[in-house]
A = this chain, B = another copy of it.
Amino acid sequence: MNMQTLIKPLIQKNTARIVLVILDGVGGLPGASGKTELEAATTPNLDMLAGESACGLHIPVAHGITPGSGPGHLGVFGYDPLESQIGRGILEALGLGLEVGRTDVAVRCNYATIRDGLITDRRAGRIPTELSGKLTGKLQENIKRIDDVDIIFAPGMEHRFAVLMRFPDDLRSDAAMINDTDPQKEGKSPLPPAPLSKNAERVSMIAEKLISMAHEILKDEEKANFILTRGFSGLPDIPSFHDAFGLKALAIATYPMYRGLARLVGMDTPALEGGVEDEISFLKQKYNEYDFFFLHVKKVDSYGEDGNFDGKAARISEFDKLLPQILELKPDVLLITGDHSTPSVMKGHSWHPVPVLLKSPYVLGGICNAFSERECVKGELGILPALNLMPLALAHAGRLKKFGA
Given A68-B402, A379-B377, A405-B91: A6 in contact with B62 (beta carbons within 8 A): yes
Which residue of chain B has the shortest Cβ distance to A373 in the bound complex? Answer: B364
Copies of this chain present:
2
Whether A68 pairs with B405 at a CB distance below 8 angstroms is yes
Whether A64 pairs with B231 at a CB distance below 8 angstroms is no
Expressed in whole angstroms, the minimum distance between the Cβ of A259 and any Cβ of chain B is: 16
Which 4 pairs across A and B sit closest by C-beta, in order of nearness? A64-B391, A88-B405, A63-B388, A68-B404
Q: Report if A107 contacts B (CB, 8 A).
A: no
Q: Report if A363 contacts B (CB, 8 A).
A: yes
Q: Report if A61 contacts B (CB, 8 A).
A: yes
Q: Report if A374 contacts B (CB, 8 A).
A: yes
Which residue of chain B has the shortest Cβ distance to A34 in the bound complex? Answer: B366
Proximity string of chain A (63-96) to chain B, C-beta cutoff 8 Å, 1 when within and 0 when not: 1111111111000000001100111100100000
Bound-state Cα–Cα, A350 to B401, Å: 10
Given A362-B343, A364-B373, A378-B377: A403 in contact with B67 (beta carbons within 8 A): yes
6 contacts between A and B (CB under 8 A): A29-B363, A30-B364, A64-B391, A64-B393, A66-B403, A69-B405
Q: Report if A32 contacts B (CB, 8 A).
A: no
Q: Report if A41 contacts B (CB, 8 A).
A: no
Task: Identify which of B64, B87, B384 contacts A7 (C-beta below 8 A).
Answer: B64
Whether A404 pairs with B6 at a CB distance below 8 angstroms is no
Q: Report if A334 contacts B (CB, 8 A).
A: no
- Given A29-B364, A61-B403, 7 more A-B residue pairs with CB atoms under 8 Å apart are A61-B404, A64-B395, A70-B404, A86-B404, A88-B404, A345-B362, A382-B383
Bound-state Cα–Cα, A362 to B346, Å: 8
Task: Identify which of B34, B64, B68 contacts A394 (C-beta below 8 A).
Answer: B64
Most buried by B among A362, A363, A405: A405
Interface residues on A, range: 35 or more
Bound-state Cα–Cα, A17 to B352, Å: 20
Which residue of chain B has the shortest Cβ distance to A30 in the bound complex? Answer: B364
Residues of B within 8 A of A393 (CB): 64
Whether B402 pairs with A349 at a CB distance below 8 angstroms is yes
Task: Identify which of B10, B351, B377 contacts A65 (C-beta below 8 A).
Answer: B10
Expressed in whole angstroms, the minimum distance between the Cβ of A349 and any Cβ of chain B is: 6
Whether B62 pairs with A391 at a CB distance below 8 angstroms is yes
Whether A66 pairs with B363 at a CB distance below 8 angstroms is no
Expressed in whole angstroms, the minimum distance between the Cβ of A255 and any Cβ of chain B is: 14
Whether B405 pairs with A364 at a CB distance below 8 angstroms is no
Bound-state Cα–Cα, A396 to B343, Å: 13
Q: Report if A217 contacts B (CB, 8 A).
A: no
Residues of B within 8 A of A154 (CB): none
Residues of B within 8 A of A317 (CB): none
- Residues of chain A in range 353-378 having any CB-CB distance to chain B below 8 Å: 353, 361-367, 373-374, 377-378
Bound-state Cα–Cα, A365 to B379, Å: 17
Bound-state Cα–Cα, A38 to B18, Å: 30
Task: Identify which of B7, B231, B363 contacts A405 (C-beta below 8 A).
Answer: B231
